[in-house]
């Protein structure tokens, strides 16, 4: 199945939010299965899908719909060389007041930091990265050059020795939970930045 863009994924998640009518959920499921039919699913499943009732579109705006998230102009930088994991983290952080930017290497992340380092509130980086630098080297550079940015590193391997992590760098093991990432984003935007020595 081809990967859908983030806006389509976000729209389907919004449609399945708690509190919506069953016919709206049925409509979302029917839309999902229409994509499967287009890709050639078996005819017996296609026949079941055709039986799903799709109500008429509602002309009035839904009062239950959430207000759009107001962006602060600050950035959450996701540094992850696995495209699927990067996309999940970027999509998750896009739901906060931060503008999420994805990078595959530490070198790409440093280029963003050079251009917009003052706007970066959070750097969320895997320790194992393709490229010359790893996530720990990136963490040291960010801690030294942009100390007001909240730095979080993650890894599916064992946690790094504490003496390898710069002061104030947070470690989250993989697989990380979305809640853990959202908590760090909240801390990056609400906690006062550390004092610069």
Separation between Cα atoms, residue 189 and residue 179, nearest integer Å? 15
Encoded tokens for 158: 């064992």
Which of 156, 8, 6, 16 is closest to 87 using CA atoms? 6
In tens digits, the chain (197 residues) has pLDDT values of: 444 444 444 444 444 445 556 666 666 666 655 655 555 555 555 555 555 544 555 555 554 455 555 677 899 999 999 999 999 999 999 999 999 999 999 999 999 999 999 999 999 999 999 999 999 999 999 999 999 999 999 998 877 777 788 888 999 999 999 999 999 999 999 876 655 55
DSSP H stretches of helix in 16-158:
22-38, 43-50, 83-94, 106-116, 135-145
Separation between Cα atoms, residue 165 and residue 74, nearest integer Å? 25
Map out the domains of the chain with their CATH numbers: 6-50 (no CATH), 75-190 (3.40.50.2300)
List of residues 6+ apart from 128 with CB closer than 8 A: 81, 134, 135, 155, 156, 157
């Amino acid at each position: 199945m081809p990967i859908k863009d983030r806006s389509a994924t976000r729209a389907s998640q919004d449609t399945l939010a708690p509190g919506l009518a069953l016919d709206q959920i049925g409509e979302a499921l029917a839309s999902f299965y229409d994509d499967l039919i287009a890709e050639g699913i078996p005819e017996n499943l296609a026949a079941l899908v055709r039986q799903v009732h799709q109500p008429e579109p509602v002309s009035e705006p839904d009062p239950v719909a959430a207000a759009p998230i107001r962006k602060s102009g600050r950035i959450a930088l996701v540094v992850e060389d696995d495209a699927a994991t990067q996309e999940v983290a970027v999509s998750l952080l896009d739901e906060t007041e931060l503008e999420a930017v994805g990078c595959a290497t530490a070198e790409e992340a440093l280029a963003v930091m050079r251009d917009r380092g003052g706007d970066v509130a959070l750097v969320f980086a895997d320790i194992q990265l393709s490229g010359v630098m790893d996530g720990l080297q990136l963490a040291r550079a960010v801690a030294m050059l942009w100390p007001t940015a909240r730095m979080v590193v993650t890894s599916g391997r064992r946690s790094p020795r504490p003496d390898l992590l710069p002061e104030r760098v947070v470690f989250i093991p993989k697989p990380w939970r979305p809640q853990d990432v959202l908590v760090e984003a909240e801390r990056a935007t609400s906690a006062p930045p550390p004092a610069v020595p």
